[in-house]
Structure 1
Amino acid sequence: MRISDSELARLQTRCRVKQAGWGTTGYRMNEDELINALQDTHLLLVGYEKVTARVIENSPSLQLIAVSRGNPANVDIQAAEKHHICVLHTPGRNAIAAAEYTMGLILSQARHITQAERALRSGKYLGNPAADFSTCDTSADVIWNLDGDNPYTRFSGNELLGKILGLIGFGHVAMQVAKYAQAFGMQVNVFSHKNDKKQAEEHGVCFVD
């Protein structure tokens, strides 16, 4: 996994730190390389390397494995349990990023941002540029009227305020999406097998059947 300089400095005040593998070189270590790197190592912070039973069995100093992923699928959990090694993971670690991207897609669809950007780049709605825009009585460099195929009619889109957003499931990502959608003034309806009324009240959403 990759660690920022500031976080690395914090770690180095508490323990000796060795960096290797994908986070440093961009290439995942194989079993032998990982075993060699883990000698005399007590804590492993790992992203994508596979921590197999063989790796665990040949790393006698290892006491804890922290996986920077929502699902520690790259770690042999049974082998870790057998050797009394604690395994940590980070559920919801990308929830904010995924929720922001989701809202970006919603905004793009509602306001036709992608289509407008493509039309702008193609020059479809641009006329001949003026030498000095400030001296023009009208926007001579932009075709902007209400006749026929025009930007206003084609790309005006819809506001999110007052709209209803439906979410299926209410995990880490959905909770963040709901928060952002509410900031835009949207009503959020959720379908989830949990149907937790207390959770609905806490997040200001409406669970539906």
Structure 2
Amino acid sequence: MNILIADSFPESYQSELIKNGHQITFNPALQGDALGEALGDHEILIVRSTKVDAAAIDAGTALRLVIRAGAGTNSIDKAHAASKGVRVCNVPGANAIAVAELVIGLIIAIDRHIPDNVSDLRNKVWAKKKYASAQGLYGQKLGLLGLGAIGLAVAERAAAFGIRVHALAKPGRSQDAEKRISDLGIVQLASLDDLLATCDIVSLHLPVTPETNKMVDKTFLDKMKHGAMLINTSRGDLVDEAALIEAMESKGIRAGLDVYDNEPGAGDDRFDSAIAAHPGVCGTHHIGASTEQAQMAVAEGVLQVVRSYQQGDLQNCVN
């Protein structure tokens, strides 16, 4: 099969695809119209952050499968793909540990003012008294919205810090999931209002749906504790950025963000974002899954999807 890889992908796994008889085109710089032009007679498209819109799908006359090398698929027009007989598959869970590590890193960075410490030292400023006011994480209450692979990985790491983890009760969870929740000592609360009123830190681990789009709005933020932390390593569309700026300025909400509205795709670009530049935000560049360990695990998952497709099966199809 002809496969176009339009994002970074480990060379060893490209070689594995070639060894399995596939023809590979590797161009991680493809974006916008250039993606459609490059699709040509490729049957499979592999992407990470690259946006796959209706125009690109229409241009891929031989396209039959889009593989998202990761979990989230909001950058792909899944409905239009389905209407053209193009299936979209993902690789969920393979990057869970990497994202969970970043979540904990953001929480520590916010509590200990690490970015500002570093900035002052680089500017030859010694301000020990200013930064000696961290509250500490032991005994803090963390609310997880979303208890999939990433949420549970965060819970495991937070528990090791003595953070008390909370989540929403959800009927119909599997016995295995309920056992992990119990083993981790996760407190299940009846409502979102209870969680927001209880927790010192709220971390988002949800897909974007009509129900979750901009769910972190003024009403949501008003129900959080004064000075609480909001962590978002999922999708920028979950947060009303104007409302978050207002909450940071009016009630001291602190935010750790890895994702943003209208963020650039892969590579380097200018990003003029009021929320990313706000002093109340500890921000990173959508790097949650960007560890070598995670990329190897995701690449292995991509190969499994390709093998399944060859055998007439669809693994992790989302449309």
Please report the TM-score for the alignment, with normalisation by the length of structure 1: 0.64
Q: What is aligned with 1:111?
A: 112
Q: What is aligned with 1:167?
A: 144
| Contact 1:115–1:155 (CA under 8 A) maintained in structure 2 | no
| Contact 1:162–1:186 (CA under 8 A) maintained in structure 2 | yes
Q: Which has the higher strand share?
A: 2
Q: Deviations over 1:162-194 (max 9, x none)?
A: 333222332343222212211223221112555
Q: What is aligned with 1:201?
A: 179
Change (3 A) 1:114 1:72: closer
Q: Deviations over 1:66-113 (max 9, x none)?
A: 133511542454554553x43212345654443323212211232232
- Structure 1 residue corresponding to 2:26, chosen from 12, 19, 25: 19
Change (3 A) 1:169 1:55: same
Q: What is aligned with 2:195?
A: none
Q: What is aligned with 1:143?
A: none
Structure 2 distance, partners of 1:7, 1:153, is 49
Shift of 1:33: 0.9
Shift of 1:207: 0.9
Q: How does 1:86-101 map to 2 (within 5 A)?
A: 86-91=87-92, 95-101=96-102
Which secondary structure does the structure 2 equivalent of 1:66 belong to?
strand
CA RMSD, aligned part only? 3.3
Change (3 A) 1:64 1:191: same
Structure 2 distance, partners of 1:166, 1:72, is 24
Larger radius of gyration, structure 1 or 2? Answer: 1
Paired AA for residue 187 in structure 2:
C
Is 1:50 equivalent to 2:53 in the alignment? Answer: yes
Change (3 A) 1:114 1:174: same
| Contact 1:51–1:75 (CA under 8 A) maintained in structure 2 | yes
Q: Deviations over 1:24-50 (max 9, x none)?
A: x3543447514xx332x3322234243
Q: What is aligned with 2:76?
A: 74
Structure 2: which 5+ residue stretches go unaligned? Answer: 1-6, 191-319
| Contact 2:68–2:91 (CA under 8 A) maintained in structure 1 | yes
Paired AA for residue 5 in structure 1:
E
Moved more, 7-16 or 93-102: 93-102
Structure 1: which 5+ residue stretches go unaligned? Answer: 126-149
Change (3 A) 1:168 1:32: closer
Change (3 A) 1:115 1:19: closer
Q: What is aligned with 1:7?
A: 13
Structure 2 distance, partners of 1:104, 1:79, is 37
| Contact 1:112–1:156 (CA under 8 A) maintained in structure 2 | no
Shift of 1:118: 3.7
Paired AA for residue 109 in structure 2:
S
Structure 2 distance, partners of 1:112, 1:202, is 32
Which secondary structure does the structure 2 equivalent of 1:18 belong to?
strand
Change (3 A) 1:197 1:151: farther
Count of matched residue pairs: 175
Paired AA for residue 9 in structure 1:
S
Please report the TM-score for the alignment, with normalisation by the length of structure 2: 0.45
Structure 1 distance, partners of 2:80, 2:73, is 15
Which secondary structure does the structure 1 equivalent of 2:66 belong to?
strand
Q: What is aligned with 1:133?
A: none
Structure 2 distance, partners of 1:113, 1:195, is 41
Which secondary structure does the structure 1 equivalent of 2:67 belong to?
strand
Q: What is aligned with 1:102?
A: 103
Paired AA for residue 40 in structure 2:
L
Change (3 A) 1:194 1:155: farther
Structure 1 distance, partners of 2:141, 2:121, is 30
- Structure 2 residue corresponding to 1:184, chosen from 161, 167, 174: 161
Structure 2 distance, partners of 1:185, 1:197, is 26
